[in-house]
């Protein structure tokens, strides 16, 4: 098969690494890709939402399947674009259609879906510019901290958690009236604060059958001890030690099953990954959010633990035959630690040469914001490279990730030294 992956991060490098191992993949393209995918696939410099350019590439290279990494093209309807095109309609796209991608594209849509299908989540109400005053009143009925969520996609920045009521009211007005997150905050979901420990569950579905991938825990804050600004993710661990079998059974029974059944009941076609952000409150899982893609950097620890040929799994997702697939998981733990550009998640510089890549031993460096330039690997984003390792325990894996990170260098490189600190 000839396969195209859309995206350019650590997640997409990991997908490319895994797909390239399959004897069924004859040719692999990544658009636009990065310096990591350049070594194992052919990068094509087109944007992930440039649908006409994607069509041209798919036809020119006779691509047999498209695997979508990030949410943007899904929420903008890349799958529908294929289905509605006479010459593309039979080419499978891994990732949901636009209507189903609203699970990530609209927080309100996701909340309504969960309420409709009795999936445990935080109590909420949503507001827009015409009823800000009611939003203020709703905030007064809640206990701090206050959770405000922009309804639409805001590049992971649309959630505010505030301790002070006046500040919460001011931010609500900022979001609704002053368009703090542009269109994304023309509607805001205000939610009950859930106190607990977070983890993520990854589900594959063909629309009727589902399989559950290993759990992972990601570290979102920039600073050690989970402090400072939110980022895309600074590291991840799989499996999650506190996710016992009993707890996993609850996740499956109370959340995964009703989610997949809910999609069918609501006539929402879905061939792709569902990433369920969970919080463990007491002994019970509650959903914080749905994403319609894999997580980054969670993918960098989840896919390395999948023993199956990923192409077989993707084909089954596309064909509706996922029930015939037996998911096999590597018993070892996997960890990843993200190196980032100094300043991230605020302003940072790009174009810094990354050295030491040839000295890495016993870990897998997944490139994220890194590209090839004049034969050198240079930084091109905030999150630069995820160092993934296996170990018999997560501590052993982390030790390897850290040993190898010490061999890497680029100007103003930063990483958290405490991934896994809370486990
Ligand atoms: P989200 O984009 O919905 O995943 O939210 C970003 C982060 O905000 C989550 O990873 C949580 O750490 C936090 N968060 C979101 N909703 C809640 C909630 N209801 N209670 C506590 N923390 C939350
Ligand atoms: N690591 C969180 C995400 O991919 O959304």
- Residues 229-268: pLDDT tens digits? 889 999 999 999 999 999 999 999 999 999 999 999 999 9
pLDDT attached to residue 347: 95
Residues of the chain with CATH 3.40.50.20: 2-98
DSSP code of residue 92: -
Residues of the chain with CATH 3.30.1490.20: 123-191
| Ligand 1 atom 1, closest CA | 289
pLDDT attached to residue 182: 83
Ligand 2 lined by 218 (C-beta under 6 Å): yes
Phi, psi of 258 (to 5 degrees): -65, -25
Model confidence pLDDT, tens digit, residues 339-368: 999 999 999 999 999 999 999 999 999 999
Ligand 2 lined by 71 (C-beta under 6 Å): no
| Ligand 2 atom 5, closest CA | 295
Q: Give the list of residues 6+ apart from residue 141 with CB closer than 8 angstroms, or none.
A: none
3-state DSSP percent of the chain in helix, strand and coil, to 5: 35, 30, 40
| Ligand 2 atom 3, closest CA | 295
Separation between Cα atoms, residue 109 and residue 128, nearest integer Å: 14
Q: Which ligand is nearest to the CA of 123?
A: 1
User: Residue 47 Cα, ligand 1 centroid: separation in angstroms?
Assistant: 29
User: Residue 267 Cα, ligand 1 centroid: separation in angstroms?
Assistant: 28
Q: Give the list of residues 6+ apart from residue 89 with CB closer than 8 angstroms, or none.
A: 82, 83
pLDDT attached to residue 381: 96
pLDDT attached to residue 344: 96
pLDDT attached to residue 119: 98
Beta-strand runs (E) in 250-322: 272-281, 284-291
| Ligand 2 atom 4, closest CA | 295
Under 8 Å between Cβ of 8 and 34: yes
pLDDT under 50: residue ranges of the chain: none
DSSP code of residue 254: I
Q: Which residues line ligand 1 (CB under 6 A)?
A: 122, 147, 149, 159, 161, 191, 193-194, 198, 220, 277, 288-289
Residue corresponding to tokens 């994607």: 54
User: Residue 295 Cα, ligand 2 centroid: separation in angstroms?
Assistant: 4
Model confidence pLDDT, tens digit, residues 177-221: 888 888 898 899 999 999 999 999 999 999 999 999 999 999 999
Chain-centre distance for alpha carbon 386: 14
Under 8 Å between Cβ of 370 and 380: yes
Closest ligand 2 atom, CA of 295?
Answer: 4
pLDDT attached to residue 250: 97
Q: Probe ligand 2: pick from 291, 338, 386, max atoms within 8 Å of CB? A: 291
Ligand 2 lined by 9 (C-beta under 6 Å): no
User: Residue 252 Cα, ligand 1 centroid: separation in angstroms?
Assistant: 21
Q: Which CATH number fits domain 2-98: 3.40.50.20, 1.10.10.60, 3.30.1360.10, 3.30.420.40?
A: 3.40.50.20
DSSP per residue, 350-378:
--PBPB-GGG--SSEEEESSEEEETTEEE
Q: Which ligand is nearest to the CA of 190?
A: 1
- Structure-token pair, residue 97: 């259609």
Under 8 Å between Cβ of 327 and 214: no
Q: Probe ligand 1: pick from 104, 288, 289, max atoms within 8 Å of CB? A: 288
pLDDT attached to residue 129: 86
Separation between Cα atoms, residue 342 and residue 43, nearest integer Å: 27
| Ligand 1 atom 12, closest CA | 198
- C-alpha distances (whole Å) from 409 to each of 24, 234, 315, 352, 412 are 36, 17, 39, 10, 9
User: Residue 153 Cα, ligand 2 centroid: separation in angstroms?
Assistant: 13
CATH 3.30.1490.20 fits 123-191, yes or no: yes
């Amino acid at each position: 098969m000839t396969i195209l992956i859309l995206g350019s991060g650590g997640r997409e490098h990991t997908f490319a690494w895994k797909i390239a191992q399959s004897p069924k993949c004859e040719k692999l393209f990544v658009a636009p890709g990065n310096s990591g995918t350049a070594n194992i696939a052919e990068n094509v410099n087109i944007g992930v939402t440039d649908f006409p350019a994607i069509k041209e590439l798919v036809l020119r290279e006779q691509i047999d399947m498209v695997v979508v990494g990030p949410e943007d093209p899904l929420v903008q309807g890349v799958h529908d674009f294929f289905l509605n095109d006479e010459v593309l309609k039979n080419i499978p796209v891994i990732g949901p259609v636009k209507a189903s991608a609203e699970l990530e594209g609209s927080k309100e849509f996701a909340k309504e879906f969960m309420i409709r299908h009795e999936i445990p989540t935080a109590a909420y109400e949503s507001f827009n510019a015409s009823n800000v005053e009611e939003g203020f009143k709703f905030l007064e009925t809640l206990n701090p901290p206050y959770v405000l969520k922009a309804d639409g996609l805001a590049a992971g920045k649309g959630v505010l958690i505030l301790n002070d009521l006046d500040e919460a009211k001011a931010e609500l007005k900022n979001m609704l009236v002053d368009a703090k997150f542009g269109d994304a905050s023309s509607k805001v979901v205000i939610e009950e604060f859930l106190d607990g420990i977070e983890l993520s569950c990854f589900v594959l579905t063909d629309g009727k059958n589902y399989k559950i991938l290993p759990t992972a825990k990601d570290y979102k804050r920039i600073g050690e001890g989970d402090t400072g600004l939110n980022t895309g993710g600074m590291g991840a661990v799989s499996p999650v030690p506190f996710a016992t079998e009993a707890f996993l059974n609850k996740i499956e029974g109370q959340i995964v099953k009703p989610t997949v059944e809910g999609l069918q009941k609501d006539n929402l076609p879905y061939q792709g990954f569902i990433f369920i952000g969970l919080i463990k409150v007491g002994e019970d899982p509650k959903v914080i959010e749905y994403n319609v893609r894999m997580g980054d950097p969670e993918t960098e620890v989840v896919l390395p633990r999948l023993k199956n040929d990923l192409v077989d799994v993707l084909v089954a997702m596309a064909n509706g035959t996922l029930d015939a697939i037996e998911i096999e998981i590597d018993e070892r733990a996997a960890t990843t630690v993200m190196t980032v550009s100094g300043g991230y998640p605020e302003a940072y510089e790009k174009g810094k040469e990354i050295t030491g890549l040839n000295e890495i031993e016993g870990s897998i460096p997944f490139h994220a914001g890194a590209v090839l330039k004049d034969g050198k690997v240079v930084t091109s984003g905030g999150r630069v490279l995820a160092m993934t390792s296996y170990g018999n325990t997560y501590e052993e894996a982390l030790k390897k990730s850290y040993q190898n990170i010490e061999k890497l260098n680029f100007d103003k490189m930063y990483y958290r030294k405490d991934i896994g600190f809370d486990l």
